[in-house]
Structure 1
């Protein structure tokens, strides 16, 4: 599957999850005290990541990362934990059965959503979280001990080398 097709699948997944959770909200969640009435259902940043479509869904009652495979369906039963290797490292997801989608992976970021004052703040947080998950960590800084040379220190070369970097 080429990148254009994978991106299109990500967009359809986001739209489908938004529609699903809007229905859940309208049918069973909107009057519950767990809901933040300043928020609405929205998908944020769905994109390809390896063999997975990954993105975040914001609702008035949760913010979750969702991951759906491009190829083979999730085999683990609902409720089990599945570890997914992301650029930032390994992240544990819960296998969830979502009506109309089958089994997806879900990872909770926030619930309840009370800390968010408006939709823009929730979506900005979702996008930042997704960017953090999909960005490899920076390599660790060079260790001082590896650069430290006692003889150079006594000759004054260590401080000159430090000043040059």
Structure 2
């Protein structure tokens, strides 16, 4: 079922799965929430999903004779299409960077490709993760406006999981945007799916307040452990079990967000595999 009467030139990809349609011959509605008992169409089936030979249960008019009665999901569809459009331009822009400048650079991972993952609206901006053969970044894009940003300037932006530093940059197709580095380079990923799975996990962890607690409390935990160890040494007491190791560093934001989902094959001594940069190389 690909066309119908009325709005959007009859294109079903312009209506949401919640769209309620109405036969213009007999005014019988098709409500996705109810489906069609006569044709054994289950509740929850959108207008675009029934068989191509489906007809009006009242007058047998073909699906092409139906019009949009109301579409509760129309705004969601408009928003989704807007995000799809701008992220497509983002992917095209960095795909061009890869083919023109990065393809033969040793740091790229040729098992990967440029892909936009998990982009959504957030506080009037478009937020998601951009995966490429040489970096994975959180990206913030404007919605329906143009950002005039000073390339190289920085901004700290707060999320439920903590504070993150974003670097300003500009690209020809998308204009100004803000980027927060997660991985660079990308050699620890062996498949595109591994990288996109981590990207989706990042988007979930970003809004999890428990991650802020893990990060912000690390200094207090370290101080408490140091005091306990000092007291034990002063009393010259022999512990029955080895003491808890002292935390020497706060957990990094990347470690909190990715929660160990990246491949464990990267060498501990490879400083470039864990280096957090704020802007992808081009």
Provide the TM-score with structure 2 as the length reference. 0.45
Pick one of 82, 92, 97 that aligns with 1:9: 82
Provide the residue aligned with 1:55 in structure 2: 128
| Higher helix content, 1 or 2 | 1
Shift of 1:56: 0.8
| Structure 2 match to 1:137 | 209
Partner of 1:120: 193
Paired residue secondary structure (1:38): coil
**Residue by residue, what CA displacement relative to the aligned partner does 1:65-114 show, whole Å, maximum 9, x if unpaired?**
11012255434411111122323233210011112211100111111000
Where do 1:97-116 residues align within 5 Å?
Answer: 97-116=170-189
Contact (CA 8 Å) 1:80, 1:94: kept in 2 or not? yes
1:14–1:55 CA contact under 8 A, matched in 2: no
Distance change (3 Å), C-alpha of 1:77 and 1:56:
same
* Shift in alpha-carbon separation, 1:88–1:16, aligned structure 2, 3 A: same
- Listed one character per residue, the Cα deviations across residues 105-157 of structure 1 (whole Å, up to 9, x for unaligned) are 01111110001011110010111111111x241497xxxxxxxxxxxxxxxxx
Structure 2 unmatched runs, 5+: 1-74, 214-282
How many matched pairs?
A: 138
What does 1:13-32 correspond to in 2, within 5 Å? 13-32=86-105
Choose between structure 1 and 2: higher strand proportion.
Answer: 1
Q: Distance in 2 between matches of 1:13 and 1:43?
A: 10
Quote how far apart the aligned CAs of 1:7 are.
Answer: 2.9
- Give the counterpart of 2:150 among 56, 63, 77: 77
Question: Where do 5+ consecutive residues of structure 1 fail to align?
Answer: 141-165
1:65 equivalent among 121, 125, 138: 138
Instruction: Give SS of 2:181's match.
Output: strand
Q: Distance in 2 between matches of 1:100 and 1:109?
A: 23
- Relative to structure 1, the CA distance from residue 7 to residue 120 in structure 2 (aligned partners, 3 Å threshold; closer, same or farther) is same
Greater RCO, 1 or 2 (C-alpha within 8 Å, sep 6+): 1
Counterpart-to-counterpart distance in 1, 2:140 and 2:79: 13
CA distance in 2, matches of 1:11, 1:136: 25
Q: 1:31: how far off?
A: 1.1
SS in 1 for 2:199: helix
Alpha-carbon distance change, 71 to 88 in structure 1, aligned in 2, over 3 angstroms: farther
Distance verdict in 2 for CA 1:82–1:73, change over 3 Å: farther
Contact 1:6 1:70 in 2 (8 A): no
Highest Rg: 1 or 2?
Answer: 2
Question: Superposition RMSD on alpha carbons, in Å?
Answer: 2.0
